[in-house]
């Protein structure tokens, strides 16, 4: 009987092994066959297509389309794009330390970084670049100019510039440096008891930057709570997400698990360092643009009941990518696993595996969303990002504010203001006065910033539907009456949304004198999410009951 049982097991094992081998052979044959078909097709197109084709461009189109059918995060990088890959992981590049943009055919300095060669040379936001090393920029894209500005540290580049309001061009010779974009551009005490840390990325050293920021804040004797701001943070390195969490979580705690098709991608990531503070109350700010590594941090803080989440639901990216080297110094970034935070949930919101018939991607259906438990037994759910413990309304700008931003008028007025005023008060004290706003209204007098309100758009959609269904003539008088009553007035809208527009102007103007720190600090003055976080952190009973902490 035992021999027969062993024999059965052996036959089953051989059968399973054979099936596995057959599957491998079938896959290999399928790959080989399709490569042969593609190679023949590519050769035929290049040889016989009626017009000249660019082989490299044609191949890149095919590669990008193929990878796009998988998910947005699996990408190919040519040799010329490898520096971009390095920047995504290290936050470092060789250059002048400024971002640029293209508008109305001009290349404009968007933001010089504080302490960078651009800032030290006196470049300002709004300056127009007319030539690089004597070569006119006309006809070039902002991407082309960015490539010209980057280069090896200690090499020079000569910029010819024109400052708005001035008639004469001037030149600046800048020496490129190794530029490191900080993950923590700003931290400060925002009142006597609450510290604030803004984390904008997860490149190398993000954990140490948060650690150092908290250590500095702890030097304030009154510090009793911390706000960690992850709003707008798209993520980055997984190990840095673990390191950031480790600042508040003890050594040896499981933070994230990855699971993929290849066994080597199945890993557990635990904290390995001594924490900075295990007890200080923490509020993490999130919004719909907090993704990936940001969701690991916020999700782990929530699952371990180490702090509260304030703001809006996060993006819902629960996928992990690795970079793989390819031939001719090219690379690809490929999704290799899903990640699971301490409660065991995966927060991936979109299901790329099961696409709709038209190729679009749907969200994980409610019927498949599962319940999990935090350390203290609170209910949390998978399949749709991290849901905040204290939800706030998403910021929605008025139509006039959106128009002023998109037409560049907030930016341009701040440029004019900076050229007229050599200095302003410290950001916390700076106020855009009523007199300043009157000047802004005069500035707009000859500018085009018309827009369509949401109500006007809805009414127009209603009209189009009525015309299509042949009902419009019957309702035309009512339509015209409603249209006239809804018609917006730009001047009255300027008054109606004065506070909102003033906030935008204060933020932009502050950045012209105090750079990124100034813009962040200015925005904090009217930040409703921050106010809610302070309210929760100041109420010990509410904070503890939310986390199911027994007093």
Q: Active-site positions?
A: 292, 303, 317
Q: 323 forms bridges with which residues in the sheet?
A: 333
| Residue (of 150, 130, 147) closest to 139 by Cα position | 130
| Residue (of 182, 295, 181, 304) closest to 230 by Cα position | 295
Phi/psi for 162 (5° steps) reads -130, 125
Cα gap 203→209, rounded to integer Å: 10
Contact criterion met (CB below 8 Å) for 521 and 427: yes
Cα gap 486→459, rounded to integer Å: 9
- By three-state DSSP, how is residue 157 classified? strand
Residue 278 token pair: 């295990």
C-alpha dihedral sign at 513, 516, 520, 523: positive
Extract long-range pairs of 144-148: CB within 8 Å, 24+ residues apart.
Answer: 145/100, 145/107, 146/100
Residue 289 token pair: 């643009």
Q: 340 forms bridges with which residues in the sheet?
A: 257
First and final C-alpha spacing in the chain: 63
| Residue (of 203, 202, 253, 255) closest to 228 by Cα position | 202
Contact criterion met (CB below 8 Å) for 264 and 318: no
Residue 125 token pair: 């936001």
Residue 219 token pair: 């030097």
Cα gap 104→106, rounded to integer Å: 5
Cα gap 197→201, rounded to integer Å: 12
| Residue (of 511, 524, 521, 508) closest to 119 by Cα position | 511
Cα gap 447→413, rounded to integer Å: 11
| Residue (of 515, 523, 499) closest to 428 by Cα position | 523
Report the C-alpha dihedral over residues 221, 227, 228, 230, rounded to 10 degrees: -160
Contact criterion met (CB below 8 Å) for 109 and 414: no
Phi/psi for 465 (5° steps) reads -65, -40
């Amino acid at each position: 009987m035992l021999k027969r049982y062993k024999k059965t097991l052996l036959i089953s094992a051989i059968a399973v092994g054979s099936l596995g081998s057959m599957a491998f052979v079938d896959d290999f044959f399928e790959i080989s066959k399709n490569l042969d078909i593609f190679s023949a097709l590519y050769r035929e197109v290049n040889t016989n297509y009626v017009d000249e084709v660019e082989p490299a461009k044609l191949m890149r189109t095919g590669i990008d389309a193929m990878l796009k059918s998988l998910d947005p995060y699996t990408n190919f990088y040519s040799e010329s794009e490898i520096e971009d890959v390095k920047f995504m992981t290290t936050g470092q590049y060789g250059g002048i330390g400024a971002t640029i943009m293209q508008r109305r055919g001009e290349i404009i300095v968007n933001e010089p970084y504080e302490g960078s060669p651009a800032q030290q040379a006196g470049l300002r936001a709004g300056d127009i670049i007319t030539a690089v090393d004597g070569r006119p920029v006309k006809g070039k894209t902002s991407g082309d100019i960015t490539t010209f500005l980057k280069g090896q540290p200690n090499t020079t580049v000569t910029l010819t510039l024109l400052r708005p309001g001035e008639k004469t061009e001037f030149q600046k010779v800048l020496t490129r440096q190794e530029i490191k974009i900080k993950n923590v551009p700003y931290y400060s005490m925002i009142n006597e008891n609450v510290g604030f840390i803004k984390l904008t990325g997860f490149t190398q050293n993000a954990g140490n930057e948060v650690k150092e920021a908290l250590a500095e804040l702890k030097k304030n004797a009154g510090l009793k709570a911390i706000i960690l701001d992850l709003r707008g943070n798209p993520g980055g390195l997984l190990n840095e997400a673990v390191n950031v969490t480790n600042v508040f979580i003890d050594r040896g705690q499981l933070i994230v698990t990855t699971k993929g098709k290849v066994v080597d991608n199945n890993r557990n990531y635990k904290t390995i360092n001594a924490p900075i503070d295990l007890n200080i109350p923490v509020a993490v700010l999130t919004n719909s643009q907090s993704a990936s590594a940001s969701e690991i941090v916020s999700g782990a803080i929530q699952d371990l009941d180490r702090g509260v989440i304030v703001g809006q639901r996060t993006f819902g990216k629960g996928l992990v990518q690795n970079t793989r080297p390819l031939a001719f110094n090219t690379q690809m970034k490929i999704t290799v696993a899903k990640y699971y935070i301490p409660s065991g949930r995966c927060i991936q919101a979109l299901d790329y595996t099961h696409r709709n018939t038209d190729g679009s991607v749907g969200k994980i259906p409610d019927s498949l969303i599962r319940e999990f438990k935090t350390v203290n037994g609170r209910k949390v759910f998978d399949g749709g990002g991290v849901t905040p413990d204290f939800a706030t309304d998403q910021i929605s700008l008025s139509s006039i504010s959106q128009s002023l931003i998109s037409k560049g008028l907030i930016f341009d007025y701040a440029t004019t203001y900076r050229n007229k005023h050599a200095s302003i008060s410290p950001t916390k004290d700076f106020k855009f006065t009523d007199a300043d706003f009157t000047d802004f209204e005069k500035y707009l007098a000859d500018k085009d910033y018309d827009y369509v309100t949401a109500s006007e758009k809805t009414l127009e959609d209603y009209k189009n539907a009525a015309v299509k269904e042949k009902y419009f003539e019957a309702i035309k008088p009512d339509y015209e009456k409603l249209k006239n009553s809804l018609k917006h007035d730009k001047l009255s809208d300027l008054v109606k949304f004065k506070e909102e527009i003033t906030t935008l102007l204060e933020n932009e103007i502050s950045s012209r004198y105090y750079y990124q720190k100034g813009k962040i600090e200015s925005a904090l003055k009217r930040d409703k999410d921050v106010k809610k976080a302070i309210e929760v952190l100041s109420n010990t009973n509410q904070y503890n009951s939310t986390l199911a902490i027994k007093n």
